[in-house]
Amino acid sequence: MTRQQVLDQYFIETRHKLIDIAAFLDRADRAEGEADFRLDAFRTAIKELSGKKPGRAEKVLLAFSDPTTKPIAKAHGKGACGAWSAKG
Amino acid sequence: MRYIEPHGHMVSRTTDDYQDMVTAGCAAVCEPAFWAGFDRSSVDGFHDYFCQLTDYEPKRAAKFGLPHYSWLCINPKESEDVKLAQEVIGIIPQFIDRPNVLGIGEIGLNKNSRNEMKVLELHVDLAARTNSLILVHTPHLEDKLKGTRLILDVLRSDKRIQPERCIIDHVEEHTIGLVLDAGFWAGMTLYPESKCSPSRAVDMLDCFGHERIWMNSACDWGVSIPLAVPRTALEMRRRAWNADLVDKVIFRNPAQFMSQCPKFKLPQT
């Protein structure tokens, strides 16, 4: 695909997704109470979007990922929350 | 258009889904053992589930002219209880020779715990002893990168395991390179809210090539789309892929992997 074709195919839907992200951050700002580590992780990941080099999707995923290498002692629950916290 | 759904939890789906999939060109469906959404209380629950996967569900699929294959295991979400897992792994040999069973799966990790690792090693050992194909589930979201690395370590440390006979599923941009570089097959799961969107899946195909990769919907009882694979074929067409390349990714690639099990018969289309 040419760059022009990419824009023709994907600009409107991606613009829509970007505004959704902005609205989510506004919603979180308007809300009361303390945030948790997920909002910080989100803000850190967003910085990857303004990078000049390719691989942004990978870098965003890495920003949310557990960087440790050893198995945990025990699984407490089954779900994942989408961001990693050093505090566990 | 023809395609294979290589990872669908059909026991959770309706007959309408079977009709829609066949109408869209599905030529075979393969069903790995899954978590039920609640923990089964005993090995008897798994016995009944394995009967469902190897007897009842193939008959239900056959009503729509769809060949149905299955994979057996205790899912990583239930692997914290090692004693139960050992009992379940102990009954799998009763089912492994059934005509629609392709191998052991979907095994792997969920929260990357020590007990999950132990149960993964038991499954890998069973697959090696029975010369079975392996289908691996990688963890969700923040746990995926670490889990994928641990899984690759387990598989590579067992010298009986041939990477080309294992598929590591649910890869994303940060794990696909690890999997392919190690010689394994990679599965991309197309989910509406997590894992991978059709456009990202085709991006990864653009970046990593079209060999040793398949796509699946992993449709189950949660938010998922049984027609995700043909919808991703539409995404390929939006990018002017030719029909032969689309056919390779959504039909011939999964057929190539699963044909390593002699019980898999290439669907007549």
Shared-domain flag, residues A3 and A28: yes
Residue A60 clears pLDDT 90, i.e. is over it: yes
Residue B206 included in any domain:
yes
Neighbouring CB atoms inside 10 A of B85's CB total 25
pLDDT, mean of residues B179-184: 98
In angstroms, the separation between the Cα of residue A69 and the nearest Cα of chain B is 6
For residue range B186-232, what is the model confidence (pLDDT) as tens digits? 999 999 888 899 999 999 999 999 999 999 999 999 999 999 999 99
Residue A87 clears pLDDT 90, i.e. is over it: no
Residue B264 included in any domain:
no
The neighbouring-strand residues paired with B166 are B134
Residue B166 vs residues A43, B85, B204: alpha-carbon distances, Å:
37, 21, 20
Residue B39 included in any domain:
yes
Task: Please tell me whether residue B196 adopts helix, strand or coil conformation.
Answer: strand
Residue A40 included in any domain:
yes
Domain assignment of residue A9, given as a range: 1-33
pLDDT at position B214 is 98
Distance CA(B159)–CA(B255), nearest Å, equals 25
pLDDT, mean of residues B105-127: 98
Residue A56 included in any domain:
yes
Residue A15 included in any domain:
yes
Q: What is the CATH number of the domain that holds B214?
A: 3.20.20.140
Residue B268 included in any domain:
no
Q: What is the mean pLDDT of chain A?
A: 96
Cβ–Cβ of B143/A66 closer than 8 Å? yes
Shared-domain flag, residues A45 and A24: no
Query: How many structural domains is chain A composed of?
Result: 2
Residue A41 included in any domain:
yes
Query: How many structural domains is chain B composed of?
Result: 1
pLDDT at position A86 is 87
Domain assignment of residue B176, given as a range: 3-258
Q: Which residue has the tokens 């599923």?
A: B169
Residue A16 included in any domain:
yes
In angstroms, the separation between the Cα of residue B121 and the nearest Cα of chain A is 14
Which of B111, B116, B149, B157 has the most A C-beta neighbours within 10 Å, making it the best mutation to test the interface with A?
B111
Give the residue with greater pLDDT, B193 vs B80: B80
Q: What percent of chain B has pLDDT over 90?
A: 97
pLDDT at position B190 is 97
pLDDT, mean of residues B43-50: 98
Shared-domain flag, residues A40 and A26: no
A23 near A71, Cβ under 8 Å? Answer: no
Q: What is the ipTM of this complex?
A: 0.96
Residue B266 included in any domain:
no
pLDDT at position B267 is 80
Name the pTM for this structure. Answer: 0.97
Residue A74 included in any domain:
no
